[in-house]
Amino acid sequence: MKLSAILTSIAFLGSVFSPNVASYAQGRDNSYADNLILDMAQAYKQRDRRAMTALLPQLKGTTLEPWAAYWELSSRLNEASTDEIQGFLTRFTGTYQEDRLRADWLLQLGRNKDWETINREFPLYRMGDERSVRCYGLQARYNAANPPVVQLAQDIQDNWLALREADSACAGAAEQLINDKKLSPQTAWLRARVGMDNDRLRVTQQALEILHPEWAESFNQIYQNPAKYLDDKLTAVRPKTKELVTLALIRLAYIDYEAAATEMEKLRWKTQLTHEERSWVWGAIGKRAAQKLSFDAPSYFANGAFEHMHDDHLVWAARAALRTGRWAQVQQATAAMPVALREEPTWVYWHARAVLAQKPSDAARTAAMQRLQNLASTKGFYEQLALEETGKSITIPERPAPLTAQEKEAASRNPSISRALYAIKLGLRSEGTREWNYATNMHTPGGMDDRSLLAAADLACRNALWDRCINTSERTKSVIDVEQRFPTPFKSEVQARTKHINLDPAYVYGLIRQESRFITDARSGVGASGLMQVMPATAKWTAKKIGLTDFQPHQINDHVTNITIGTGYLKLVLDSLNGSIPMAAAAYNAGPNRPRVWRGQSGSPTLEGAIWAENIPFSETRDYVKKVLANTTNYAALLTGKPQSLKARLGMVGPKDANAVEQGLDLP
C-alpha cells in the first residue's frame, strides 16, 4: 500500500477509534507504525521468524499489536513454553487473538495427547468453530475419569461423519473409541462409504486403516477398477468382505450409475448384502443418476429403503422426485430426513408442498399451511416462496427504530471492532474480517444483541465496508434493517447503465451482492475480479462486443468499468436464454452452456423455476442462483417501493423450442 493511501486511511479512521484503543505509544508516527505492521504481516506469510522477532518490540502499544504478537508466537508455538503461551492468553484476554491462539494450542496439545491440559483449556475456547479442536476436546473428556461415554461417543461420531475431508483429530478419537469397543466399527464403514460416495479417496483410506490396514491392496483395486473387483469370483467367498463389495458398488455408482444398477440386480449381491447395505448402494446409484438429471433416478431410489440411506441420498431423492412430479416420493424422502435436515427451509417448504399436492385431509392441509406460515418471511429464497404460497407478496419489512447516538458510540468504542476496522482499512482484509466476525458473534464475551448488531453494521456501512455491513446486519434475530442488508452503493452508475441496456437494476444489485458484497477489488481463487467478478477472458470478449475499444485488463477493478462490462455480459447471457432470470444467473456462475444442458432435451417437462433451480447439479451454482434471485426480489421491493413476486421472476424452465435458433452460443 502506498504511504499516501495509508495516511488517508488513518485520517479517515480517526473519528471512529476511542483514545484507549487507537492510540499508539507516545511519540510514535502513525504511518511508520503502519508500515511496520504491514512488514510484520509479510514476514508472517513468509514464515520469517527472525524478521518477526525484530519487528515485534517496535509494535508494542499500537492498535494491531495483538495481531503482531499472535503472528510471532503462533509461528513458533511448538517451541514455546506453557508459561509463555499462558502469558499471551492472559495479556490479550477477551480478544480474537487469544481465542485463535488457544485453538492453535489445543490442536498441538491434541497431537501430543496432552489430555489433562486440553481438559483445562478447552472450556475456555469460545468460538468453538473447528471440528478438529472439538474432537480433541471430546477425546480428552473421554480419557478423563468417569466420562459420560454414550454421549461422548455419539458426539465424536457426529463430528467425524460431518467432515468433508480426512482429519486426524476426529479420526483418532473415533479410532480410540472403536478399539475400546465404545463405538461400533460400523461408524468407520459408514465413513468409508461417504468418502467413496463423494470421491474422497483419503477419507475412505483413513477409515479402512482404522479397521483393517491389511486391506489396502484390495481398496486400491476397488478404487481403480470396481467393475473388475466385483467380477472376481473370489469376492463372493472371501470372509468378511461384503463391506468391501459395498464400497466397490458405491465406487461403480460414482463412475457409471447404470452399470452399478445392472450389477445390483445380480442374485449374489441380493443374498450376500444386507437390506441396509443394498439400500445404501441404491441410494448412491440414485444420487448419481439424479445429479446427471436422469429420469430413472426415482426408480433407483425406490429399490432401497429411505431409512437406510444417507442424508445426501435423501436430498437427491427429493430433488429427483420434484423434477419428475412424484410428490408422494418427495414427501417420503423429506419425512425420512434427520430432524435437523428436515427443518431446513428448503425441506420444510417442499415437504409442505408435497402434502398439499396430494389431496390431503383437512387436518393435513391445515398442518402443511401452518408450516408454510411459520416459514414465511422475506429472509431468503424458500422463506419468500412460502410467503407467496400463503397468498402474500414480498414487501419491505418495517425498519427498526433509528439508532441512538449512544448505541453508535458503543459500536465505535468496541475494541475488537475498532481493531478489525483498522486492519481492513490498512489492507489486512482477511485478518480484519475474522476479527470483525468474532466481535459480532453471539458466542463471544458480551455477545451482541440485535441493537448492538445494527449499530456495528451501521459503523461498517458508514465506512463503506459493505460486506461487514451486510453480514453483521444479517445476524439480527427479531428485527430487519433492509437498507443495511441490501445496500445500494454506486447507485448512479448502476441505474444509468441498466437503463441504457434495458436491464433490471434489482437483478444487477442482487448479483453483485452475492458475487462480491460490493468489494471493488475482490478477487476470486480462479481470477475473477471486481464488483461483478468478471474473468479476464470474459472481460476482453465482452468489451469488444459492447464497443469498449480502448479497454485494458488493468481497468477491470475500476468500479465503473466493471459495472459496464459485468452488466453487458449479463444482458447478453439473459437475451441468449430468452430472458430466463434463473438460467442467466446459473450461466453467470457456471458458464452459459451448462444451463442449456440442465434445462433438458426435447421431450423433457417444463418445470417451476424453483424446482429447476433446486435440481442444479453443482452445489455452488444451486446456492448461488437461489441467493441471487432472493436478493433480486428484495432489491426490487426496496428500489420500487412496490410488492414483488419471486415466483414471477423464477418463471418456468423447460427445453428449448426445437424450431428455435439458439442464440449466444459463442458466449465465453
CATH label of the domain that carries residue 519:
1.10.530.10
pLDDT of residue 287: 98
- In this structure, the chain runs to a length of 668
Residues 445, 481 within the same domain: yes
Reported confidence tier of residue 25, pLDDT bands at 50, 70, 90:
very low
Tens of pLDDT, residues 621-639: 999 999 999 999 999 999 9
Cβ–Cβ under 8 Å, residues 626 and 381: yes
Residues 528 and 471 placed together within one structural domain of the fold: no
Percent of the chain with pLDDT over 90: 84
pLDDT at 240: 54
Domain count, the chain: 3
Q: Do 104 and 130 form a contact (C-beta atoms < 8 A)?
A: no
Q: Is the domain of 499 the same as that of 644?
A: yes
> Same domain for 448 and 525?
no
* Structural domain range at position 251: 193-342
Is residue 405 predicted with pLDDT exceeding 80?
Answer: yes
Within a domain: 151: no
Mean pLDDT of 393-404: 96
- Contact between 355 and 328 (Cβ < 8 Å): no
Q: For residue 660, what pLDDT is reported? A: 62
pLDDT band at 220; cut points 50, 70, 90: confident
pLDDT at 367: 98
Where would I find the beta strands (DSSP E) of 207-331? none
28 lies in a domain? Answer: no
| Cα gap 585→509, rounded to integer Å | 12
Residues 535 and 633 in one domain: yes
| Residue 7 pLDDT greater than 90, yes or no | no
Task: Give the mean model confidence (pLDDT) for residues 181-204.
Answer: 96
Q: By the 8 A CB rule, do 448 and 440 touch?
A: yes
- Lowest-confidence pick of 12-21, 118-127, 152-161, 413-422: 12-21
Catalytic residues: 515
| Domain endpoint, select from 342, 369, 389 | 342
d(CA 428, CA 155): 36
Would you state the pLDDT for residue 233? 56
pLDDT tens digits along 461-480? 999 999 999 999 999 999 99
Q: Tell me whether residue 619 is in a domain.
A: yes
Are both 448 and 516 inside the same structural domain? no
Residue 337 resides in a domain: yes
Residues 501 and 591 in one domain: yes
Are 480 and 497 part of one and the same domain?
Answer: no
- Compute the mean pLDDT over every residue in the chain, rounded to the nearest whole number: 91
Instruction: State the virtual CA torsion across 185, 186, 187, 189 in degrees, nearest 10.
Output: 100
Domain-terminating residue out of 431, 453, 485: 485
Could you say which DSSP state residue 653 is in? Answer: E
> Which DSSP symbol is given to 395?
-
Could you tell me if 523 and 480 lie in one domain? no
Domain co-membership, 649 together with 581: yes
Same domain, yes or no, for 476 and 509? Answer: no
Residue 411 belongs to a domain: yes
Task: Write down the pLDDT at residue 268.
Answer: 86
- Is 119 among the domain residues? no
- Checking if the pLDDT of 306 tops 80, the result is yes
Where does a domain end: 485, 506, 535?
A: 485
